[in-house]
Structure 1
């Protein structure tokens, strides 16, 4: 057995159902055998996350800070959309995957080179990543499981009457339209608003 086989089995099990026992069952072996390759579930999850992000190219650092940050947001959103439960795993990591660390470090350098203060660079990157992760951490069902993006949108639509009955009609009509559309379009609008706010903050810095 190779470590790559264990990672592939972990991804096949999926992050939402990931346990050492589930991966052992998938491989037809004992948990004690897996512990010869990974120390615990955290290391198993980290290895799976590392594999996921190592197979994706981190956005170009020469594209300008705004485009770069927009592409980072989109990369994380789409990756979490492909792997239900990944957003929660990233948010609760105790062991940082090297590829993810390297990517975020490059993004920080892009922001700092663009004239961001260290505080603003850290805040901007943190908010961008939290925006992408947060979408996929919502929509949990009553059983505790989380549906895919389409399932999360259906769940939100079920709450429409309660949301829109007392809402200003100008906003209520737009909300109905948005929830019936492509969820990524609404997410992208949120990302654009965040990037506009970051750009305004950068422009307001003394000396700019």
Structure 2
């Protein structure tokens, strides 16, 4: 084989191949060995594209986010930000384990682009640049943290803990609570634990959006 033929030989795998393999394996079970086995390549070949597990996560997240249908950036800022909060939650929910990775600081370029787009839309709606960043960060952090909590409560990631069904037994009311208050508080804690995660997130998001409106939202 000539030198020019060797130079023109296509790579055995592409970044897109790796992304598909990562999503097939799943973030909760992601290892180099699992991705190599899925692709049918050796360790050196995979390392050329992804030097560590974090890069595998970024490659997978880039594809997951690019395949997701995101809301339009326009209209009333409250509804736009609410739509993006729910979309971020849904995008993470579609790939169990992804929220835990993002919460640990593994953030792909596509996520940064989404955040920037939302910030620009908020500025157009009347926010200052600083307040636009703060508002967007609050909503995206809430979606990520809530999904991460769901992943751990539902034991969707390794070493996540005992699971949702066991956590309620460890709660107790404070020493100063009356018997009636204690029962009511414990009942509400139990209700929160077993509630639909999407509805619980929606309730939290409404509170956050109301706070943004009165504290840093555009005047008028």
- Name the TM-score, length of structure 1 as normaliser: 0.81
1:99 correspondence with 2:99: no
Aligned residue pair count? 199
Contact preservation (8 Å) 1:84, 1:146: no
1:18-57 alignment runs, 5 A limit: 18-57=30-69
* Cα distance in structure 2, aligned partners of 1:177 and 1:93: 31
Question: Is the CA contact 2:28–2:158 (under 8 Å) kept in the aligned structure 1?
Answer: no
Tell me what 2:7 maps to: none
Paired residues for 1:148-159 under 5 Å: 152-159=163-170
Residue 175 in 1 paired to residue 189 in 2? yes
Partner of 2:208: 194
The ranges of structure 1 where at least 4 consecutive aligned residues each deviate by more than 4 angstroms after the TM superposition are 164-167
Candidates 78, 81, 87, aligned match of 1:66: 78
CA distance in 1, matches of 2:133, 2:78: 15
1:11/1:157 Cα in 2 relative to 1: closer, same or farther (>3 Å)?
same
* Contact persistence 2:19–2:59 (CA under 8 A): yes
5+ residue gaps, structure 1: none
- 1:6 match: 18
For residues 110-125 of structure 1, what are the structure 2 equivalents within 5 Å?
110-125=121-136
Task: State the secondary structure of the residue aligned to 1:137.
Answer: helix
- Cα distance in 1 for partners of 2:169, 2:38 equals 36
Please say which structure displays the higher CA radius of gyration. 2
Q: 2:165, 2:216 → 1: CA distance?
A: 38
Counterpart contact for 1:42–1:93, Cα < 8 Å: no
- Cα RMSD, aligned residues only: 2.7
Question: In the aligned structure 1, how far is the partner of 2:191 from the partner of 2:100?
Answer: 29
**Which moves more between the two structures, 175-184 or 5-14?**
175-184
Tell me whether 21-30 or 59-68 shows the greater mean CA deviation: 21-30
Structure 2 unmatched ranges of 5 or more: 1-11
Question: Cα deviations across residues 69-94 of structure 1 (Å, max 9, x unaligned)?
Answer: 11111112122222222113223346
**Matches for 1:122-133 after TM superposition, within 5 Å:** 122-133=133-144
